[in-house]
Amino acid sequence: MLKTEHFDNALIGEDVLIEDNVILGHRYHPACGRAVIGPHSILRAGTILYGDVKTGAYFQSGHHTVIRARVEMGDYCTVMNGAVIEGMVKMGDGVRLMSHVYVASRTCFGSRVICGPNVVFLNEKRPGRIEEHAKGACVEDDVMIGGGALILPGVHIGARSFIAAGAVVTKDVPAGSLVVGFPGRISPLPEELNVPCRPEMAFQKTDLWHPEGADPFDAYWVDGYGDAPVPEKL
C-alpha cells in the first residue's frame, strides 16, 4: 500500500488503503480542486481519480477504474474493474457499478442501485449530427440493472425497477417495473422482485478479495460444479 502523503492534490480520510500505480487527484485543468476520499475506502492498482471527485465512506474501486471530474458519491459506493465514469455524475449511497460499466456524463443515481457488468449509460440521442444538450439517465432508488443492459439518453428509471440482462431501455420506466428485451418491454414487477435491493449487496464494507475481509478460503463453492478450485492453500 502507498502512503497517502504521496498525493498532494487529494484529501484522504482515515484507514484508506491505496495500492500501487494509483493516480489520485489528477490535475486535469489548472483550476481543478482536490479529490476527496472518504474513510475506510480502498483504491486498487491502476485506479485513476481526477481532482474534483468526492467519495463517501467505504468506497471501493477495482483495478483500472477511471473516474473523471465532478463526480459526487455517497457512502458504500463501488466502481469495479475497468469501469469508467465520464464526470459530472451524482450517486447516492450504496451504488455498485460492476466491471466494465460505462457511465456518460450528466447521469444521476439514487441510492442502492446495482449495475451488472458491461452496462452502458449514454447521454446523446443523435451524436455528431444535431447539436443538443447531453443528458444521461436518472435512476431512482433500489433499481437493479442486469449485465449488458443499454440505457439510452435522458430516460428516467423509477424506484424499485428491475432491468433484465441485455435489455435496451429506450423510454421512461415507471416505478416498480420489469424491463425485458430490445427494445425494452415494460411490465409490472413480479411479486418476488418487488422488494428493495438487499442491504448486504448495497452496503458492503469489504468484498471477497479485500485484504481486511474474511479469509476467501472460507467462501462457499457451488454444489454440483465439481471440486472447488485450489481446494487448499498452496
- Give residues with Cβ within 8 angstroms of 97, minimum separation 6: 78, 79, 80, 83, 85, 103, 115, 119
What are the C-alpha distances in Å from 5 to residues 16, 42, 56, 66, 169?
A: 12, 16, 20, 21, 44
The DSSP output letter for 199 is H
Taking the C-alpha atoms of residue 114 and residue 36, their distance in angstroms, rounded to an integer, is 23
The dihedral over CA atoms of 72, 74, 80, 84, expressed in degrees to the nearest 10, equals -20
- Tens-place pLDDT, residues 179-229: 999 999 999 999 999 888 888 888 999 999 999 998 888 888 899 999 888
Taking the C-alpha atoms of residue 209 and residue 207, their distance in angstroms, rounded to an integer, is 5
Question: How many Cα atoms within 13 Å fall on the side-chain side of residue 203?
Answer: 9
- Tens-place pLDDT, residues 51-95: 999 999 999 999 999 999 999 999 999 999 999 999 999 999 999
- Tens-place pLDDT, residues 121-159: 999 988 888 888 899 999 999 999 999 999 999 999 999
Taking the C-alpha atoms of residue 125 and residue 228, their distance in angstroms, rounded to an integer, is 47
Contact 58, 38 (CB under 8 A): yes
Taking the C-alpha atoms of residue 144 and residue 164, their distance in angstroms, rounded to an integer, is 8
- Tens-place pLDDT, residues 23-46: 999 999 999 999 999 999 999 999
pLDDT reported for residue 82: 98
Taking the C-alpha atoms of residue 91 and residue 50, their distance in angstroms, rounded to an integer, is 16
Other Cβ atoms closer than 10 A to 227: 7
* Block residue for cell numbers 477511471: 66
pLDDT reported for residue 228: 86
Taking the C-alpha atoms of residue 68 and residue 97, their distance in angstroms, rounded to an integer, is 15
pTM attached to this predicted model = 0.94
Element (H, E) at 201: helix 199-202
Kind of pairing between the strands at 144-145 and 114-115: parallel
* Block residue for cell numbers 455517497: 74
